[in-house]
Amino acid sequence: MTPAAPEVSQKKKEVTPNGGWLRVSAALWRRPWARAALLLTPPLAWFAVFYIAPLIVLLVTAFWQINPFTTNIEHVWTLNNLSTILTTPAYLRIIGRTVGMAAAVTVVDAVVAFPFAYYMARVASPRTRTALFVAILLPLWASYLAKVYSWLVIFTHQGILDWTLGKLGLGQVHLIYTNWAVFTVFCYLWLPYMIIPVYAALERIPASQLEASQDLGARTWRTTRRVLLPLALPGIAAGSIFTFSLTLGDYITPILVGGTSATFIGNIIYTNVGIANNVPFAAAMALIPIAIMAVYLLGARALGAFEEI
């Protein structure tokens, strides 16, 4: 009996973990909710801790203030930060400038993206379509800073833009450190985010609907305006969420290519977190784009943007 004992115990050892795993997997198979909980708990916990919690902290901080002498945060409830922002003309101008910039970038990107997306979806051969798709994704993989710096090089005095215009005999424009430079760089940076959803919307319009419109006598322009544009509108709205919100939140491009008047909401937040060390005020300022985006998203949902994504 004695020599057999180790063998038995070894066998037991081999079976137990295997059986344990089987039992666990069987239990999970029998209970779909347990499976779902096991899969969803880690990502949702991450989401709660790293997305939701900081947002709540931000919201709360916006209603605190700093001691002007020690610059320590005082946990006293106050609406001072928000009322300062909403009653100071300079801040209102900055908010207006930021929203205007975001709107202008969105409109121009939509106008630039639409014919491009149309060509991709309806004219190009499948091979060209794939190539164009890769071509608009490639710039997204290039570094943000490298792209902004390349525009700095283009716009700078004696840069390539001045050189090209000089060769064409058009004089010089000196766009560097102006809001035009900021505008161009934003249009450049976010253009792919507009093309992709517009392409997705155009691609799923059945050809028969366009043919029906033309059979009924509508010319190209009328078909575009009355059939194509309404059907593509959810895609344009989806793309505009990206271009609008990304412009609203950016502060690096204005720092690099913008001039003295290129102060946007993001720059105010940045200087208040860093130089002025007034985090409650920065938090209150950060609530402004959140509020604007909330309104914007409601509008975009009404246009059907979320059915596209």
Partner 1 sequence: MEPKALRVALRIWVALVLAFLFIPIVLIVLYAFNQSTIESWPISHFTLHWFSLAWHDPEVRAAFWLSVRVGLFATALALLLGSAIAYAPSRCCWCSRSRCRASSPGSR
Selection from 286, 298, 294, 295 nearest residue 95 by Cα = 286
Hey, how many other C-beta atoms are within 10 angstroms of the C-beta on 198?
Answer: 29
Distance in angstroms (rounded) separating the CA atoms of residues 59 and 278: 15
Stretch that binds partner 1, among 14-22, 115-123, 234-242, 291-299 (CB under 8 A): 115-123
158: contact with partner 1 by CB under 8 A = yes
Within residues 119-148, the interface with partner 1 by CB under 8 A covers 119, 122-123, 132, 135-136, 138-139, 142, 146-147
204: contact with partner 1 by CB under 8 A = yes
Contacting residue, 19, 96, 100, 115, with partner 1 by CB under 8 A: 115
Contacting residue, 29, 144, 163, 306, with partner 1 by CB under 8 A: 163
Distance in angstroms (rounded) separating the CA atoms of residues 163 and 236: 36
Instruction: With CB under 8 A as the rule, give the number of residues binding partner 1.
Output: 43
Within residues 218-237, the interface with partner 1 by CB under 8 A covers 220
C-beta closer to partner 1: residue 96 or 139: 139
Hey, how many other C-beta atoms are within 10 angstroms of the C-beta on 121?
Answer: 20
C-beta closer to partner 1: residue 33 or 69: 33
20: contact with partner 1 by CB under 8 A = no
Query: What letter does residue 250 receive in the DSSP assignment?
Result: -
C-beta closer to partner 1: residue 21 or 163: 163
C-beta closer to partner 1: residue 97 or 222: 222
By the 10 Å C-beta count (0-12 exposed, 13-18 middle, 19+ buried), 254 is classed as buried
C-beta closer to partner 1: residue 97 or 129: 129
Amino acid of residue 127:
R
Contacting residue, 63, 177, 186, 188, with partner 1 by CB under 8 A: 188
Task: Give alpha helix (H) positions in the chain.
Answer: 4-30, 32-47, 53-61, 80-87, 89-118, 126-141, 144-155, 160-167, 179-203, 207-215, 220-223, 229-249, 252-257, 265-273, 279-302, 305-308
> CB of residue 283 vs partner 1: minimum separation in angstroms?
26
Amino acid of residue 252:
I
Structural contact between residues 283 and 61, judged by C-beta atoms closer than 8 angstroms: yes
Query: What letter does residue 192 receive in the DSSP assignment?
Result: H
Question: Widest CA span of the chain, in angstroms?
Answer: 105
Stretch that binds partner 1, among 184-192, 228-236, 270-278, 290-298 (CB under 8 A): 184-192
Stretch that binds partner 1, among 63-71, 76-84, 185-193, 285-293 (CB under 8 A): 185-193
9: contact with partner 1 by CB under 8 A = no
Distance in angstroms (rounded) separating the CA atoms of residues 155 and 174: 7
Contacting residue, 24, 26, 36, 52, with partner 1 by CB under 8 A: 36
Interface residues toward partner 1, by CB under 8 A: 32-33, 35-36, 39-40, 42-44, 46, 112, 115-116, 118-119, 122-123, 132, 135-136, 138-139, 142, 146-147, 149-154, 156-160, 162-163, 188, 191-192, 204, 220
